[in-house]
Structure 1
Amino acid sequence: MAAGVMGTSSQLITVFGGSGFIGRHVVRALAQRGYRIRVAVRRPDLAGFLQPLGRVGQIHAVQANLRYKQSVLAAARGSDVVINLVGVLTEAGRQNFAAVHSFGARAVAEAAAAAGARLIHMSALGADAQSASLYARTKAAGEGFAFTHVPKATIFRPSVVFGPEDGFFNRFAALGSRLPVVPITGGATRFQPVYVGDVAEAIARAVDGAVAEGHVYELGGPEVKTLREIVDYTLGVIGRRRLVLDLPAAGASLMAGFVEFADKLTFGVLPDYLVLTRDQVALLGQDNVVSATAIDTGRTLADIGIAATPYEAIVPGYLWRFRRAGQFADIRTI
């Protein structure tokens, strides 16, 4: 157990979206520090896997839906810190960008203010009210609500986050293992993949009070790579030789429209790695890297005291399942 357990065990941290990809790592980091953790999720019955991350009774799941403010207020009541990690990459029914990133972010910020709690809000690099992407515009709106209701809120904007359950490297590995051609768009777009463990540690340090409040921090890994370079690397890791087809934005948008229609027609049964939306195509038109402003003003992982983990150190450890013979496969292109 981390040092300082006795000093933090009286503090209650409510984590909205604590059962998600990033959330489970945040819960682990907080549990190791000895905090009491309330995980606010739509389905508490599906969050039982978080219990072993802490001591008996340390982690408690409660029901909350960002579309219903009363449930959000109830979940945040009595909290010392409120963390909002809820986000969606694609829209599905009532779980759309506006409901989750904008309305939901406002509900969490209002609940934090009502509870007198500090607020830590997860946004994304590329959040921009003027973006062609609705995802990016609603992310920007969520940041605005966070600062409006809790002026000293701490906001984190990560680049694409990688880790065993990610939807980035796993997506391209799935495409490469199942299709003879890997279609992409925005091959020259730059990314700065950041490890989920580093993001979780940054959030935990903000809870500790080791991160200055009232600022937006941009989180990126140690390397900037184009999407094409990342896809080529992924194919190399899984030992697949595939044609990578970089579609122009117009063609990719047209294809995405057909995929969206097919996904709705089949009631969402298409595998996640095949789903591409027009909004994602628009998002891929912009670089996803830490800005010069964030670097110059000291608002990066390094400034928080975290040495960013390179993806080469982590990704091969979970992409082996996409090789022809799994972990026993020779690492060679086939």
Structure 2
Amino acid sequence: MKNELVVLFGGGGFLGRYVAQALLAAGARVRVAQRDPRRAYFLKPLGGLGQTQFVAADVKRPESVARAIAGADAVVNLVGAFTDMQALHVGGARAIAEAARDAGVEAMVHVSAIGADPESASAYGRSKGEGEAAVRAAFPHATILRPSVVFGQEDEFTNRFAGMVALPIVPVLRGDARFQPVFVKDVADAAVTALADAKAYGGKLFELGGRDVMTLRQIYQLLARETGRTPHLLELPDALGGLLAALPGSPLTRDQWQMLQRDTVVADGADGFAALGITPTPLAAVAGTWLVRFRRHGRFAKRAAA
């Protein structure tokens, strides 16, 4: 990908910073496109002189998307949120794919999520599924990646739960819900691999899951061990969990509650990492490097026995 220009929508976000680093390491020129590009300026020192560009673009404004993509060789769409989902996941994805098509872009990667389904009970799953369909309609040879829950140093997953296990009692909703946590760097490598060989991977869909399938309860237990905590995990019945999710100010929205009703694991025989030649990184192998701050005495504390 040396010297190719890749436009990265959402490049300043959690996953975006890792995709940007992988692209820069591969020698690509990276144009980060987002509503406020100043929030992505931290990426500039990661590349060589002139290797990183920044442009203001709002995926809800197709004309700004087209300007951001002008002259690009490839496009990556990482835009995602738990608010305004229809506009971002469907309308935004369509605007990016149509602009990429009209600009003659050679390759596109669209990052979706496991559970994407136009018939999903959750608004998030429905919007992700409809977004995939919109991308396929406009740019049929786009590569679609569906990661499970993504973890890494800056995530809102392990860091949030690690803060919770510092409490003496931790309420657990749907403790048997299964996940296949995936390392953010592995997802970034998957995106760059797909872009680098659009002939082999274009038009295909890859579900990305980590090495281990874990229940939510097991994830809490692993984070407790990594941070030297011994909380009591209080499992709440489904009826109470659904009620709590419906209350104003609840840390879990009703839509997130709906998402917990379905396992977030790759389908049988759909190992996207294997197809892309990537060996996934286990959560237990790396989480301790950033969760050390949740230990009572920081890096000088001992981990709890397994």
Q: What interval of TM-score do these two structures reach, taking the shorter chain for normalisation?
A: over 0.9
Q: How does 1:197-208 map to 2 (within 5 A)?
A: 197-208=185-196
1:36 pairs with 2:23? no
1:293 CA drift (Å): 4.2
The one-character-per-residue Cα deviations of 1:253-280 (angstroms, maximum 9, x if unpaired) are 221222xx237xxxxxxxxxxx211111
Query: What SS does the aligned partner of 1:294 have?
Result: coil
Distance 1:30 1:292 in 2: 30
TM-score, length-scaled by structure 1? 0.88
Percentage of pairs with the same residue? 47
Q: 1:136 aligns with which of 107, 119, 125?
A: 125
Does 2:50 align with 1:61?
no
Q: Which moved more, 1:239-248 or 1:112-121?
A: 239-248
State the distance in 2 between where 1:39 and 1:305 align: 27
What is the match of residue 3 of structure 1? none
1:97 touches 1:134 (CA, 8 Å); kept in 2?
Answer: yes
RMSD between superposed Cα atoms in Å: 1.4
CA contact (8 A) 1:238 1:323 kept: yes
Residues 313-322 or 243-252, more deviating: 243-252
1:45 aligns to what? 38
Check the 8 A contact 1:249/1:281 in 2, yes or no: no
> Helix, strand or coil for the counterpart of 2:68?
helix
Contact 1:42 1:63 (C-alpha < 8 Å) held by counterparts:
yes
Q: List runs of 5+ in structure 1 lacking aligned partners.
A: 1-6, 264-274
Q: CA deviation at 1:231?
A: 0.9
Q: What letter corresponds to residue 185 of structure 2 in structure 1? A: G
| Post-superposition CA distance 1:16-56 (Å, at most 9, x none) | 00011100000000001111110001111121100111101
Whether contact under 8 Å (1:128, 1:137) holds in the other structure is yes
Select which of 280, 284, 287 maps to 2:260.
284
Q: Deviating runs (4+, > 4 A) in structure 1?
A: none
- Normalising by the residue count of structure 2, what TM-score does the alignment of the two structures yield? 0.95
1:168 equivalent in alignment to 2:157: yes
Structure 1 CA distance, aligned partners of 2:178 and 2:245?
21
Question: What's the CA shift for 1:249?
Answer: 3.0
* Alignment partners' CA distance in 2, 1:56 and 1:24: 18
On the 8 A contact 1:253/1:277 being kept in 2, the answer is: no
Structure 2 alignment gaps of length 5 or more: none
Q: Quick check: 1:301 aligned with 2:273? A: yes
Q: CA deviation at 1:110?
A: 1.1
SS of match in other structure, 1:232: helix
Higher deviation after alignment, 306-315 or 243-252? 243-252
Structure 2 CA distance, aligned partners of 1:230 and 1:110?
Answer: 40
The yes-or-no answer on 1:262 pairing with 2:256 is: no
Residue 81 of structure 1 pairs with residue 69 of structure 2: no
1:192 aligns with 2:180: yes
What CA distance in whole angstroms lies between the structure 2 residues aligned with 1:60 and 1:181?
47
Residue 229 of structure 1: aligned partner: 218
Cα displacement string for residues 188-244 of structure 1 (whole angstroms, at most 9, x for unaligned residues): 111111111111011111111164210110111111111111111111111111121
Distance 1:292 1:129 in 2: 20
CA distance in 2, matches of 1:134, 1:257: 15
